[in-house]
Amino acid sequence: MEWSQVLQDPVLKNLPYKIELNEYGHIVMSPASNLHGYLQSRLVMELAKKIDDGDILVETSIQTSKNVKVADVCWASSQFIEKFGFETPYPKAPELCIEVRSPSNTDREMNEKIELYLAKGALEVWICDSEGLVRFFCHEGEIAESRLVPGFPTHVRV
């Protein structure tokens, strides 16, 4: 299955969970909790306080080497938006991709997403757990704080 087919399928519209495609073109679904949505909104609000250039995006589809993945929150520079607009899915990852970890996510899945987004051009990938703790990753590995968004808190309020 291709991402354009997922978007056009009337049966898949308005589902109460996140959809991605795995490397075989199969739909992978993750149920979304209210806590997940709350953490997404907190991350967006904190980013908006720290960044005045570019755009903050949610549920951003990115074509990776293992098909389409959907980052919970992204920041894309004005240059990124100028080049790619709102192409769906993006052929390259925005500069910052953030995943809110669901209870069903394994360490392996999260590490794979970090690698996939970085391989597609993200400068940083952040993982936020259910307690609101944020971990920062770049091409060199895990870093103590964001270089892209200096001063971003390592904990968002739950």
Tell whether 21 is covered by a domain: no
Task: Look at 67 and 9; give whichever has higher pLDDT.
Answer: 67
The CATH code of the domain that includes 125 is 3.90.1570.10
pLDDT (0 to 100) of residue 24: 77
Compute how many other C-beta atoms are within 10 angstroms of the C-beta atom of residue 88: 14
CA angle, residues 56, 100, 125, in degrees to nearest 5: 65
Tell whether 116 is covered by a domain: yes
Provide the pLDDT confidence category of residue 21 given band limits of 50, 70 and 90: low
pLDDT (0 to 100) of residue 104: 80
pLDDT > 90: percent of the chain: 72
What are the backbone dihedrals phi and psi of residue 74, each rounded to the nearest 5 degrees, phi first?
Answer: -140, 155
Q: For residue 25, give the DSSP letter.
A: S
Residues paired with residue 20 on neighbouring β-strands, in sequence order: 28
- C-alpha distance across the termini of the chain, in Å: 37
**pLDDT exceeds 70 at position 12:** no
Tell whether 5 is covered by a domain: no
Q: What are 95-136's pLDDT values in tens digits?
A: 999 999 988 889 999 999 999 999 999 999 999 999 999 999
Kindly report the average pLDDT of the chain as a whole number. Answer: 89
Q: Are 96 and 75 in contact (CB under 8 A)?
A: yes
Tell whether 1 is covered by a domain: no
Tell whether 18 is covered by a domain: no
Tell whether 101 is covered by a domain: yes
Tell whether 156 is covered by a domain: no
pLDDT (0 to 100) of residue 95: 98
**pLDDT exceeds 90 at position 29:** no
Average pLDDT estimate for 40-54:
96
Amino acid type, 114: I
- The Cα–Cα gap between 40 and 154 comes to 14
Domain count, the chain: 1
Give alpha helix (H) positions in the chain.
3-8, 34-50, 78-84, 107-119
Provide the pLDDT confidence category of residue 5 given band limits of 50, 70 and 90: confident
Domain that holds residue 72: 33-143
Tell whether 96 is covered by a domain: yes
**Residue of 138, 156, 157, 134 whose CA lies nearest to 148:** 138
